[in-house]
Amino acid sequence: MQDVNSTSGLQIHSVMYRFHPSIKWEGGYPKQNQIVGQIEKLWKRYQLEDKTRFNTKVEKIYKDQQGRWIVNNPSEGGFDGVIAAVGTCGPPKMPHIPGQENFKGEIHHSSKLDGIDAQGKRVLIIGGGASAVEALEWAVSTNAAKIKVLARSDKW
């Protein structure tokens, strides 16, 4: 859903979770810090502090005979549901591209583009997901001379 507000231009509203009201993003596509900020607000609003465990390596998940989900082993307790919450909010992972050591240009991760200028440069964006859309927005807004997108599919 899009709202046009005469005083502030285009505002984008998005439903982050089905159980939560819409969120107003600051621009067309939210940046990582905006997403993390909204998750933190929901985490506090729904009092999830005591129900959350960080830095726990998950080696296996399975259901026991009562139908409860077991994470790693039964001593951790049984759970009614499991939510896989992996995504762009963790540290960036740079893939190694064969021959990249011979590349003379700059290589950046899409989550680390703040303060980088593409003006007059030829930019190749590798990927087709939400991060690639954010990188494309950055390349356009910093006046890249030429932009190409290399993606396996056309999901966006």
Question: What is the rounded CA–CA span in Å between residue 71 and residue 61?
Answer: 5
Q: Is the separation of the CB atoms in 109 and 92 below 8 Å?
A: yes
Answering whether pTM is above 0.85, one says no
pLDDT at 89: 59
Question: What is the rounded CA–CA span in Å between residue 154 and residue 59?
Answer: 33
pLDDT at 7: 37
Domain boundaries, the chain: 1-49, 53-90, 100-150
Residue-wise pLDDT tens digits, 123-154: 999 988 778 888 998 999 999 999 999 888 76
How sure is the predictor about 10, in pLDDT bands with cuts at 50, 70 and 90?
very low
Residue-wise pLDDT tens digits, 100-118: 999 999 999 888 888 899 9
Residue-wise pLDDT tens digits, 35-56: 888 888 888 888 888 888 777 7
Q: Is the separation of the CB atoms in 139 and 121 below 8 Å?
A: no
pLDDT at 88: 55
pLDDT at 6: 34
pLDDT at 48: 84
Question: What is the rounded CA–CA span in Å between residue 150 and residue 130?
Answer: 14
Instruction: Name 5's bridge partners.
Output: 9
> Does the pLDDT of residue 65 top 80, yes or no?
yes
**Which residue, among 108, 111, 58, has the nearest Cα to 88 in the 3D structure?**
111
**Which residue, among 66, 88, 90, has the nearest Cα to 78 in the 3D structure?**
66
- What residue has token string 């390349």? 139
**Mean local confidence (pLDDT), 87-109:** 82
